[in-house]
Structure 1
Amino acid sequence: MGEQQQRDVGIREIPKLNKWLILSLQHLFAMFGATILVPFLVDLSPAVALVSSGLGTLAYLFITKGQIPAYLGSSFAFIAPIIAATTLGGPEGAMVGSFFAGIVYGIVALIIRASGLKWLMKILPPIVVGPVIMVIGLGLAPTAVDMAMNDPVTEAYDMSLFIVALVTLAITVVASVFFKGFFGLIPILFGIVGGYAFAYMQGIVDLTPVREAKWFEVPDFIVPFVTYTPQFSWEIIAIMVPIAVVTLSEHIGDQMVLSKVVEKNFIKKPGLHRSIMGDGIATIISSVLGGPPNTTYGENIGVIAITRVFSVFVIGGAAVIAIIFGFIGKFAALITTIPTAVMGGVSILLFGVIASSGLRMLIDNNIDLGHKRNLIISSVILVIGIGGAFIQVSEDVQIPGMALATIIGIILHLIFPNKEAGYGNASMFSNDDE
């Protein structure tokens, strides 16, 4: 135990410069694959996503008083809502929706500071959150398969592209199952790099954009009142804002896990209200730059657990490097040359893992689906969310499937008797307000 403690690097400890760089790069690699995948899927700039994740993480560290070593990257929960919002109002409309989702975080943080946690825990039991997370993953399944099988230009089936996707998937699976230690935490990165190399050997990759790109280049930021004039839309708000309920529960779970890893109660100090506020401000920063909403990353928590390096300076270093990478034109161009099939292959596993994590929440908390209330709530959420049901409130306002499933799940939980059955043994939902 003494040897273990000697290897720990404290939250406020600054490593030596050479170790600092290496440790920060580890966190960059851990978040990189997932962070660039989200903007790739929703047709936003990966370079902007890197910059916004870095700035968002620095803001998070500042708001949490440098007490929580967490990295923030692109949120997968918002993929479908961003696509829907972009269809209605372009990427600018999606940014407006993202901004208001960040505002919801801020409001929740202020309410928690004033009234405690119990009200939030009451509306987010595992029987609601688990199936909604499953909806996020399974709802994206057609997107992953389409990217893997079809030519992005002609939209026709292409066997050669599907083979690239399958090879990418195989590499990602092997890295997930057989790689140990830190390498086991970055299977997405291994999958993208390996799939890209295979696609290049098949003559699918065109490196012309990399050769033509400048070394230094400002990313394609989407800035309100500079590149566009924001337009308020109730329909986009209805699409984006309810997803914040889901990501809030994910945020709480991450804080619980990180608290166990570091052996400090971050829920109590600096307080859940600060970490949620930090998450919200990071999402707002991303929305005013043109990046996807941010969220704390489990991959980076895994790195912290393995390395026992808790330093916020290491996390901050990763954030600064991400910002720098966003301004390297050739690096940004290289990302754009990744074939859609490669991202499709990675997505097949990643979206499945998201869905499975929702199932795992039900299992870990011993949720009894033999109980009628639990069976009904989970069934309704899954079919409405995956089936794509929606409510047309007015000509301009629509509540889409994922948001509708979340809202109905919460309502059913609140009105059905025997609410304790919806929590199982969920410790993350039974904490007091301390």
Structure 2
Amino acid sequence: MSMFTWEVVDPAPGEAVAPHQRLAWGKTIGLGAQHVVAMFGATFVFPLVMGLDANLAIMFSGICTILFLLICANKVPSYLGTSASFVASVAAIRAQGGDSADVTGAILLGGVVLALVGVLVHVSGSGLIHRILPPAVTGAVVMLIGFNLAPVVADIYWPQDQWIALATATFMVMAAVMLPGFWSRIAVFLALIFGYAVSWAADNLFGPITSVLPTGPDPVEHDRVSWAAVEAADWIGLPSGTLADGVSAVHAPSFSLTFFLLVLPGVIALVAENTGHVKAVAEMTGEDLDPYMGRAIGADGLATALASAFGGSPTTTYAENIGVMGATRVYSTAAYYVAAAVAILLGLCPKFGAIVNATPGGVLGGITVVLYGMIGLVGAKIWVENGIDFGDPVNLVGLAAGIIAGVGDVTLQITDDFSLTGIALGTILVIVYYHVVNTRRGPGTGHTTQALSHRE
């Protein structure tokens, strides 16, 4: 039977639809559109905060989702949206003078490493991951990735319009917790719409604002919402234009060992995310997906490398879309192909990209202050779910130095031209110190990694 042949079913209320099944095409298209809405907000917010092109990211999210489904033989229903795991690494690269080509080059190499990890897991089994990256370590790495981003919010986005940022953050917190079901899962998207609307209203009520933009050191007067680029953009066309740092939106990557080391913590986070994603989907569908664990990790690595090769954003499997499956009990991979096709079409609309790129800085400030904190707290969530005992000095002392080095952006100058900084140094210290002191334990006393919920 062809991989693109799904068994058509008409389930009774509450009955699940398996990955190899599908509803009638009309309902499948509707579900695919729902998956697009679920991934939408985070998939174009993170390219914006990384300084990359949102239109390109949306288009490659669709392409990479199809690649993922093919590599996993349609057994693991997943959508690949933009990953938050590299945001801190990108901030560090830019702080050291790197441009967008340096960013995508480092992420491309990170994707290759992730793909190789996937091959290794496929051959040797997932136990290898649990031995090298136990929950104590992955939790610490994810935590330092999130909290390392605090200065980005404080120094770049929040000062552009503090009151819009506060209003947007407040709305997002309330929407994520207080709205029912599906609506809470698209809180990022709703917060973007809310922030856009409030910014437009503020322009009309109070006039322009004077603040420091990312493009310059001095405060300037400007409208919160400017659609000049939107009016000039075409309706149909390939992603194009120039990024804020002067690099073309579609560009070839450049490579640096120093910058590559900065993205390795993101690779560790993606290993944990993909492992947790496969386990979560397996639990929902009732199918044994362990044989596809390595494929899923490797597919995400190849997808990240492919997108970065053209200047796109890194990818990851999305928990938002797991939420949609949990609410609908429809696990059909056919719906994900529909979602991917819609995303590709959106990526071919430059006017849509111009609207995304016109997102006010204050809106991004409000969203990122919540999102970055959530990333950091996912690390704590890993510890809680796996019962990490901080009464044990192996965990308490073994992780402490790495977390502070990463969050505090500590630098270790090795040569005149090479240094380890922030999350790269912190991650190395976490892994090395933990395993050095953990040798006092006997075999079989560690914990296994459980599902890591990736909330973007």
Partner Cα distance (1:357, 1:315) in 2: 26
Equivalent residue, structure 1, for 2:256: 233
Equivalent residue, structure 2, for 1:358: 379
Give CA deviations for 1:129-164 in whole Å, capped at 9, x if unaligned.
11211111111122223344313xxxxxxxxx2111
Partner Cα distance (2:442, 2:199) in 1: 51
Relative distance call for 1:419 and 1:309 in structure 2 (3 A) is: farther
CA apart distance, 1:425? 5.0
Q: Which amino acid aligns with 1:428?
A: Q
Q: Which amino acid aligns with 1:126?
A: P
Equivalent pair of 2:385/2:450 in contact (CA under 8 Å): no
Equivalent pair of 1:136/1:355 in contact (CA under 8 Å): yes
Q: Which amino acid aligns with 2:109?
A: F
Partner Cα distance (1:342, 1:422) in 2: 48
Give CA deviations for 1:106-151 in whole Å, capped at 9, x if unaligned.
2112222332232221111111111211111111122223344313
**TM-score, normalisation: structure 1:** 0.89
Relative distance call for 1:221 and 1:201 in structure 2 (3 A) is: closer
Map 1:202-351 to 2 at 5 A: 202-203=202-203, 204-220=224-240, 230-268=253-291, 271-351=292-372
Equivalent pair of 2:104/2:254 in contact (CA under 8 Å): no
Relative distance call for 1:23 and 1:418 in structure 2 (3 A) is: farther
CA apart distance, 1:167? 1.2
Equivalent residue, structure 2, for 1:372: 393
Equivalent residue, structure 1, for 2:18: 10
Larger mean CA deviation between 343-352 and 384-393 belongs to 384-393
Q: Which amino acid aligns with 1:131?
A: A
Percent identical: 30
CA apart distance, 1:168? 0.8
Partner Cα distance (1:321, 1:16) in 2: 18
Partner Cα distance (2:267, 2:97) in 1: 20
**TM-score, normalisation: structure 2:** 0.85
Q: Which amino acid aligns with 1:188?
A: V
Question: Does the residue aligned with 1:399 lie in a helix, a strand or coil?
Answer: strand
Relative distance call for 1:320 and 1:394 in structure 2 (3 A) is: farther
Equivalent pair of 1:368/1:421 in contact (CA under 8 Å): no
Q: Does 2:403 correspond to 1:382?
A: yes
Equivalent residue, structure 2, for 1:63: 71
Equivalent pair of 1:55/1:285 in contact (CA under 8 Å): no
Q: Does 2:122 correspond to 1:113?
A: yes
Equivalent residue, structure 1, for 2:217: none
Equivalent residue, structure 1, for 2:174: 174
Higher helix share: 1
Q: Does 2:29 correspond to 1:21?
A: yes
Equivalent pair of 1:141/1:351 in contact (CA under 8 Å): yes
Question: Does the residue aligned with 1:8 lie in a helix, a strand or coil?
Answer: coil
Relative distance call for 1:308 and 1:259 in structure 2 (3 A) is: same
Give CA deviations for 1:353-398 in whole Å, capped at 9, x if unaligned.
1111111111121111111111112321220110111333334333
Equivalent pair of 1:367/1:423 in contact (CA under 8 Å): no
CA apart distance, 1:421? 11
Larger mean CA deviation between 304-313 and 373-382 belongs to 373-382
Partner Cα distance (2:338, 2:239) in 1: 20
Larger mean CA deviation between 118-127 and 311-320 belongs to 118-127
Q: Does 2:71 correspond to 1:48?
A: no
Equivalent pair of 1:46/1:332 in contact (CA under 8 Å): yes
Relative distance call for 1:14 and 1:118 in structure 2 (3 A) is: closer
Q: Does 2:450 correspond to 1:428?
A: yes
CA apart distance, 1:196? 0.7
Q: In structure 1, which of residues 83, 91, 94 is the aligned counterpart of residue 103 of structure 2?
A: 94
Equivalent pair of 1:56/1:282 in contact (CA under 8 Å): yes
Partner Cα distance (1:400, 1:423) in 2: 32
Give CA deviations for 1:92-114 in whole Å, capped at 9, x if unaligned.
11111111111112211222233
Relative distance call for 1:360 and 1:241 in structure 2 (3 A) is: closer
Equivalent pair of 1:374/1:421 in contact (CA under 8 Å): no
- Aligned-CA RMSD value: 2.5
Relative distance call for 1:298 and 1:420 in structure 2 (3 A) is: farther
Question: Does the residue aligned with 1:428 lie in a helix, a strand or coil?
Answer: coil
Partner Cα distance (1:238, 1:289) in 2: 21
Question: Does the residue aligned with 1:150 lie in a helix, a strand or coil?
Answer: helix
Larger mean CA deviation between 108-117 and 179-188 belongs to 108-117
Relative distance call for 1:306 and 1:114 in structure 2 (3 A) is: same
Larger mean CA deviation between 169-178 and 395-404 belongs to 395-404
Partner Cα distance (2:47, 2:406) in 1: 22
Equivalent pair of 2:403/2:430 in contact (CA under 8 Å): no
Note the residue ranges of structure 1 that are not aligned, 5 or more in a row: 152-160, 430-434
Q: Does 2:135 correspond to 1:129?
A: no
Larger mean CA deviation between 120-129 and 389-398 belongs to 389-398
Equivalent pair of 1:48/1:291 in contact (CA under 8 Å): yes
Relative distance call for 1:57 and 1:229 in structure 2 (3 A) is: closer
Partner Cα distance (1:360, 1:68) in 2: 24
Equivalent pair of 2:252/2:310 in contact (CA under 8 Å): no
Give CA deviations for 1:237-267 in whole Å, capped at 9, x if unaligned.
2222343122212211121112111211212
Q: Which amino acid aligns with 1:127?
A: A
Equivalent pair of 1:147/1:341 in contact (CA under 8 Å): no
Partner Cα distance (1:354, 1:422) in 2: 29
Q: Does 2:91 correspond to 1:83?
A: yes
Partner Cα distance (1:123, 1:342) in 2: 39
Equivalent pair of 2:398/2:430 in contact (CA under 8 Å): yes
